[in-house]
Each structure stands twice: as C-alpha cells, then as structure tokens.
Amino acid sequence: MLAVSDLVREPWDYRFAGFLTQQDQSVRGWGVVSFELEEIDWGHNDAEQARNKKFVLRVIDLALQRHRWDELTYDPPFAQRYLRQFKSMVEGFPPATATPDPGFPGFPGPDDAAMASCARHRVLSALPHWDSCIFCSR
C-alpha cells in the first residue's frame, strides 16, 4: 500500500489499490485472503493490459526498494522474498488469458476503487468499504 499509494495516476491504478486493500488479513481474517491473477480485470485491449501489468510491476519494484518501510512499526523479514516471487508470477502472466467474472466482485470496479487517502498515514483506503486505512485498522 505504501508503494501503490505513491504511484497511482490512472483510474485503473486506484482500482488495483482497492484490490490490495481487500487483501488486508487483519481485517478479513488470517489465512482467508487469496487471489488469482486471472481474477484481475487487466483491461479491454492489449495496450491497456500491457500498461496495467507494467503498473503492477512498478508497484512491486518500488516496494522491493523498501519504499517507506521506515514508517512500518515492524521489520517484515520475508516481504522482499514474497515480492520477488510475486513479481516473477506477474512477469510471466499473460493478461489476455485473464477471465475475470463480472458477477464476482474480486476486482473492484470504478465505484469501489481506493480513492480516499488517510491523512495520517498517506496511504489509499477503500472507504467506505473499510473504516480506515490498513495502518489505522491495526
């Protein structure tokens, strides 16, 4: 969330940020959060899909640089390894093969994008779906 909050520019980016807020295990429950890359609505054509995939990779790269990790109240010892694995998965994923289910709210639509920013923590929050940002909810 620290990385995506500082990189969002396009409407799809805010939807992806909303998607990340949905992965907050401290809100949804430990061990019950998961997703498939196929569930993500990567875009309607090759150009959109390529652009959005590049955005996700930029978010991962920024997080890998430990962007704003000094603001965390803990040291995440495995996060960089997981981020490298996630980056590898995204790099190898062909977005055109995604089959998001329009009836399944796995990937936020425009109305469910994370548009609000927590003034205290400067990260995006999916208000009103969550009461607060991922740091306030801890």
| 136 touches Zn ion (CB under 5 A) | yes
- Report the candidate in 48, 133, 60, 58 with the shortest Cα–Cα distance to residue 98: 48
Site string for Zn ion, 83-122 (x = CB under 5 A): -----------------------------------x-xx-
Instruction: Specify the residue, 2 or 118, whose C-beta has the smaller distance to Zn ion.
Output: 118
- 116, β-bridge pairs: 125
Q: Could you give the dihedral angle defined by the CA atoms of residues 3, 54, 15 and 65, in that order, rounded to the nearest 10 degrees?
A: -10
Instruction: Specify the residue, 56 or 114, whose C-beta has the smaller distance to Zn ion.
Output: 114
In whole angstroms, the minimum distance from the beta carbon of 121 to Zn ion comes to: 4
Instruction: Specify the residue, 113 or 133, whose C-beta has the smaller distance to Zn ion.
Output: 133
d(CA 36, CA 93): 11
Q: Is the omega angle on the peptide bond into residue 110 within 30 degrees of 0, that is, cis? A: no
> What residue ranges bind Zn ion (CB under 5 A)?
118, 120-121, 133, 135-136
